[in-house]
Amino acid sequence: MPGKQITDVVEQLCRRCTENQAVLVVRRDPLCRDCFVRYVHTKVIKHMESFRVRNADPNRQRKLLLALSLGASSVTLLHILDHLLETQTSKSGRTGFGLSVVFVETAGDASHQDRLSKVRQAYPDYDIASLPLHDVFRLVPDQESLSGLLPESATVEELSPADKLVTLFGSLTSATAREDVAATLRTRLVVEYAKSSGCEGVLWGDSTTKLAEKTLAETAKGCGFSLPWHVADGETPFGLAFNYPLRDLLKKELVAYVDVVGSPLPSLVLDSAPTQASMSSKNTTIDDLMKQYFESVEVNFPSIVSNVVRTTGKLKATLTTNDAPACDLCSMPVSDGRFGIHGWGGDQHGIADPILASSGRRLCYGCTRSIPSTTNPTNGSA
């Protein structure tokens, strides 16, 4: 942890500038405050190359949406992009891109709004929206397939978006299913908001560590097929581009950055309790497990974390998937329309009609594990 590192490097000089006292060790190099800040900025700006001023059409401002979670990573990204835009303006009088920010609220937590207003004060130049998750039942154009995920007993027409969300979550049978569905809906809400506000891409604050977690978590959820769109920079089946400018920075480096830069950052970041897997596996989620796993790997084996991300980046989406039918929940293209958990080798039953077996809903393999089946209750996971 950063605090410990600072005591370790007392009396050492920064390896980059060889002038100042080092304040922490980054990938085995002792660095001073300035060199560390420059290190972080360089890693981010490298991924914003295509949004430089000289690539921008002066008559048409490109707009990007930053998805803010109020964690150390996304707050840092906002801080660095603000700095980048300021530099661009001071150098050329204009910016390479416009920035909007969106925060997705989780129900029943008021502490977010307090932090969010502080963020608005600290970065007054940006339009920072805050949306409740149930807005996904308002903004997504294809409401029919999304509402089809609610239990059949629900009278969909009479429910408000908020009630729909509560009904959907009420029907989910495990903690991991609830977290998986919430994350998927959050992504879809951010995408729809980006489209409705004229943004051509979404900037996510995922660190290397987070992307590695995501790689293994999606693999464990049976969503390996969709990894190229969840971890790599570029166009997605959502119809806009995803970018991960923090992809070369470890979570611990971003936490250290918040500390080193100081005010106002520490007051904006929501305190995240150290990940501790719940004692009962009933309350543990797959995401929790992966988070815990990589937090421990990151301490001693940072290169393994980045190697996972680099490796996943080499997976290539196949051409045919672009016009394949999409999953009702995650909206990812399912090749050959192989919906549901049936109709592959591991099924071992040989159900003739996979579409029929998935009870009319068109869910990809991974999402089928989360949404309880209406026709075949024994097939759900406990």
Partner 1 sequence: MAPSLCAHCKTNRALILRPKDHSKLCRPCFLTTFETEIHHTITSTGLFTRGERIAIGASGGKDSTVLASVLKTLNERYDYGLDLILLSIDEGIKGYRDDSLETVKRNAEQYGMQLCILGYDELYGWTMDQVVEQVGKKGNCTYCGVFRRQALDRGAARLGLTHVVTGHNADDVAETVLMNLLRGDLPRLSRTTSIVTSTPSLAADPAANTHIKRSKPLKYAYEKEIVLYAHHKNLDYFSTECIYSPEAFRGSARALIKNLERVRPSAILDVVRSGEDMAKLVPDSDEGCGRVCTSSVPAAEEEQGGCGSAQGPSSGGDLATLEQALSSDDRAADAALEIEITTSSIAKRTAPLPLTVGKSRKVPKAPNNTRKQPKKQVMGQCKKCGYLSSQDICKACVLLEGLNKNRPKNHIEVGYEPEKEATSVAEAVKQLDVGAG
- Exposure string (b/e) for 288-326, b if CB count within 10 Å is 16 or more? bbbbbbbbebbeeebeebbebbbebbeeebeeebeebeb
Query: What's the rounded Cα separation, in Å, for the pair 117 and 129?
Result: 11
Contact with partner 1 (CB under 8 A) among 77, 133, 308, 367: 308
Cβ-based nearer residue to partner 1, 94 or 282:
282
Query: What's the rounded Cα separation, in Å, for the pair 245 and 265?
Result: 18
Contact call for residue 379 and partner 1 (CB under 8 A): yes
- Exposure string (b/e) for 67-85, b if CB count within 10 Å is 16 or more? bbbbbbbbbbbbbbbbebb
Cβ-based nearer residue to partner 1, 338 or 362:
338
Sketch the per residue contact string, 275 through 304, with partner 1: x for CB under 8 A, - otherwise. ------x--xxx--x---x---x--xxxxx
Beta-carbon neighbour count of residue 192 at 10 Å? 18
Q: Which stretch binds partner 1 (CB under 8 A): 95-103, 135-143, 265-273, 342-350?
A: 342-350
Contact call for residue 374 and partner 1 (CB under 8 A): no
Where does residue 87 rank: exposed (0-12), middle (13-18), buried (19+ CB within 10 A)?
middle
Sketch the per residue contact string, 181 through 220, with partner 1: x for CB under 8 A, - otherwise. ----------------------------------xx-xxx
Q: Which of residues 219-258 bind partner 1 (CB under 8 A)?
A: 219-225, 227-228
Contact with partner 1 (CB under 8 A) among 100, 184, 312, 358: 312
In sequence order, what E strands does 69-193 have?
98-105, 127-132
User: Cβ 305 to partner 1, closest distance in Å?
Assistant: 9
Contact call for residue 35 and partner 1 (CB under 8 A): no
User: Cβ 68 to partner 1, closest distance in Å?
Assistant: 29
Q: Which stretch binds partner 1 (CB under 8 A): 4-12, 54-62, 151-159, 363-371?
A: 363-371
Query: What's the rounded Cα separation, in Å, for the pair 327 and 334?
Result: 7
Beta-carbon neighbour count of residue 281 at 10 Å? 12
- Separation of CA 117 from chain center: 22
Q: Which residues contribute to the site for partner 1 (CB under 8 A)? A: 27-28, 174, 176, 215-216, 218-225, 227-228, 281, 284-286, 289, 293, 297, 300-304, 306-308, 310-312, 314-318, 341, 344-346, 348-350, 365-366, 369, 378-379, 381-382
